[in-house]
């Protein structure tokens, strides 16, 4: 509730790339001179921090049941190749957590990203990056599910493995709604490895039997003391079996693990998520190769299932990745999820007014209770409020500027933006957003910017949504340099709706 509205000319996020960092006016973090302590919102209203992975991933039921028929009815309304982003999907296929939280699955094994700092050479480093990347994909819900589409300004902030050598902080923000763009940043505290990226989903009906969620965007891995920073992309997720049944999730496409500066002449990896052939073959196969320089022949080959065991072999002859070679060395375990324990994210109280779990609280409660009607009504309340807020914002000539992310350039030849995190760096035992709230940097419990009543009913969500993490131009703005009055997000949002 301590974020200001800054009077400025209307401009895009791209033109804000070179402005000062730290838009939210949080004490001591470059965002302003105010000494007022920010009010914290309850980012974990359903106590999900105490739930196990089995409880989280099994919530909401199995979409291979009744929801398949509803999904089939929706697919009859569209043509092959048509964009599905504006199609309202039934709540039965929703995974009860937001995309912002879903992307944090990349870090459920923080020890693996930390281990990258201890690589012996470039080949070992790429192997470790590939192992870390593959470790995220065994975290999957029951059936075919999609996470909530985040609202503009929604945030998710958490810590993994707090108080251990593998402590890792994660912050994600929905920086754009049309097109939908999610930005995130993670920091492994001990190794200081930083991961910053964006995810831009684009969905379409590929065939009458397959709907695809195409994962655009990428993320960069910054490794202190290493001459190379690495860039990775995303696989596509297909819902296969709309007509043929059973409905199942398939990951497809190629992800490259390569240095940003000289990918063609450096050690790199290619990860192929392979769809099941129409005749024969297996589901969920993945095959990856480690390549040195410009050669098209891998020196190491990784094979297995993307959600379970993968093995690695050294390749001593020039055979393409797609083919098996009899001279490969005896395979060794590369990653086995059954021998590891994924870490649950601990969502943190935050000064940002739209914490993900709180925004979607009522939808999540209904889904976990199996009440599809209540879930649909709660979801529609959020979507209706967002449309009203967007119209009001456009009428006032406002344009949203993200809180902790800025466009810093364009990827050459692609037309895709490169986003950079511009927020604070956490104390080793403190939150990126709440780092100055105490001498130790630890989040302070008990500060809740949104009262219990604000999240107890679907209609109250309309009052909760308007505050933003970033800034906007406005004729009602507080002049730059002045401290705005501290108001709860509920009070601020009510005033925003009246303007």
Domain residue spans in the chain? 53-335+354-421
- Helix (H, G, I), strand (E, B), or coil: what is residue 458? coil
Quick one: pLDDT at residue 86? 62
The pTM assigned to this predicted structure is 0.78
Given the DSSP bridges, would you call strands 181-188 and 405-410 parallel, antiparallel or unpaired?
unpaired
82-88 long-range contacts (CB < 8 A, ≥24 apart) are 82/204, 82/205, 83/202, 83/203, 83/204, 84/203, 84/204, 84/205, 84/211, 85/180, 85/202, 85/203
Quick one: pLDDT at residue 32? 36
Query: Rounded to an integer, what distance in angstroms lies between the CA atom of residue 114 and that of residue 135?
Result: 13
Helices and strands (H, E) in the chain, number of each type: 10, 21
Contact 92, 173 (CB under 8 A): no
Which residues touch 145 (CB under 8 Å, ≥6 apart)? 60, 63, 93, 94, 95, 249
Between the two ends of the chain, the Cα-to-Cα distance in Å is 18
Residue linked to tokens 């791209």: 14
Handedness of CA 96, 98, 99, 100 (dihedral sign): negative
Contact 410, 418 (CB under 8 A): yes
* Residue 432 structure tokens: 């990126």
**Considering the domain 53-335+354-421 in this protein, what is its CATH number?**
2.40.160.120
Phi, psi dihedrals of residue 274, rounded to the nearest 5°: -100, 125
The number of beta carbons lying within 10 Å of the beta carbon of residue 377 is: 16
Bridge partners of residue 259, in order along the sequence: 230
For the packed helices 372-395 and 361-369, what is the interaxial angle rounded to 10 degrees? 160
Bridge partners of residue 467, in order along the sequence: none
Three-point CA angle 117, 120, 126, nearest 5°: 70
99: closest CA among 35, 151, 26, 38?
Answer: 151
Phi-psi region of 61 (alpha: psi -120 to 50; beta: other; left: phi over 0): left
Query: Rounded to an integer, what distance in angstroms lies between the CA atom of residue 410 and that of residue 35?
Result: 37
Residue linked to tokens 């009543």: 453
How would you write the pLDDT of the chain (499 residues) with one tens digit per residue?
Answer: 333 222 233 333 333 333 333 333 232 233 333 445 555 668 999 999 999 999 888 876 554 444 455 555 666 666 666 566 666 667 878 899 999 999 999 999 999 999 999 999 999 999 999 999 999 999 888 777 889 999 999 999 999 999 999 999 999 999 998 889 999 999 999 999 999 999 998 877 767 667 767 788 899 999 998 888 999 999 988 877 766 667 778 888 899 999 988 777 789 999 999 988 878 888 899 999 999 988 899 999 999 999 999 999 999 888 999 888 877 899 999 999 999 999 999 999 888 889 999 999 999 999 999 898 999 999 999 999 999 999 998 999 988 889 899 998 877 666 678 899 998 765 444 444 433 222 223 332 222 222 222 233 333 344 444 344 455 444 333 333 333 322 222 223 323 323 3
Quick one: pLDDT at residue 3? 30
* Residue 91 structure tokens: 């709540």
Residue linked to tokens 């035992």: 429
CA gyration radius, the chain: 23
């Amino acid at each position: 509730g301590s974020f200001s509205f800054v009077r400025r000319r209307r401009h895009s996020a791209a033109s804000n790339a070179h402005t000062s960092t730290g838009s939210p006016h949080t004490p001591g973090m470059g965002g302003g001179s105010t000494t007022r302590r920010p009010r914290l919102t309850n980012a974990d209203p359903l106590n999900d921090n105490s739930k196990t992975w089995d409880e989280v991933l099994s919530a909401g039921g199995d979409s291979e049941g009744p929801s398949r028929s509803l999904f089939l009815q929706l697919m009859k309304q569209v043509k092959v190749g048509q964009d599905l982003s504006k199609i309202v999907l039934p709540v039965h296929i929703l995974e009860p957590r937001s995309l912002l939280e879903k992307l944090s699955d990349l870090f459920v094994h923080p020890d693996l990203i930390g281990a990258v700092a201890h690589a012996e050479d470039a080949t070992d480093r790429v192997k470790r990056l590939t192992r870390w990347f593959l470790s995220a994909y065994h975290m999957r819900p029951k059936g075919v599910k999609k996470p909530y589409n985040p609202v503009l300004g929604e945030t998710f902030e958490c810590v993994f493995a707090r108080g251990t050598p593998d402590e890792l902080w994660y912050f994600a923000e929905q920086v754009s709604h049309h097109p939908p763009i999610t930005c995130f940043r993670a920091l492994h505290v001990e190794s200081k490895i930083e991961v910053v990226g964006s995810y831009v989903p684009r969905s379409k009906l590929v065939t009458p039997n397959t709907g695809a969620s195409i994962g655009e965007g990428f993320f960069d891995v910054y490794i202190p003391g290493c001459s190379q920073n690495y860039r990775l992309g995303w696989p596509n997720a297909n819902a296969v079996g709309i007509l043929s049944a059973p409905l199942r999730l398939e990951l497809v496409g190629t992800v490259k693990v390569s240095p940003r500066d000289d990918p063609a002449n450096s050690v790199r990896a290619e990860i192929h998520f392979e769809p099941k052939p129409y005749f024969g073959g297996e589901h969920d196969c993945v095959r990856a190769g480690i390549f040195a320089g410009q050669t098209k022949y891998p020196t190491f080959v990784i094979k297995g299932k993307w959600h379970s065991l993968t093995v690695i072999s050294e390749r001593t002859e020039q055979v393409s990745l797609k083919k098996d070679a009899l001279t490969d060395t005896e395979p060794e375990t590369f990653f086995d999820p059954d021998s590891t324990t994924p870490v649950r994210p601990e969502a943190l109280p935050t000064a940002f007014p739209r914490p993900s779990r709180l925004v979607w609280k009522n939808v999540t409660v209904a889904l976990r209770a199996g009440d599809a009607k209540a879930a649909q009504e709660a979801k529609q309340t959020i979507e209706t409020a967002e449309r009203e807020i967007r119209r009001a914002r456009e009428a006032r000539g406002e344009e949203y500027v993200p809180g902790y992310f800025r466009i810093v350039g364009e990827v050459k030849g692609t037309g895709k933006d490169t986003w950079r995190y511009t927020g604070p760096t956490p104390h080793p035992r403190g939150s990126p957003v709440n780092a100055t709230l105490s001498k130790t940097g630890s989040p302070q419990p008990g500060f809740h910017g949104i009262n219990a009543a604000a999240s107890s009913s679907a209609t109250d969500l309309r009052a909760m949504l308007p505050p933003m993490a970033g800034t906007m131009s406005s004729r009602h703005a507080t002049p730059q340099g002045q401290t705005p009055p501290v108001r709860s997000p509920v009070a601020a949002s009510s005033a925003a709706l009246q303007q």
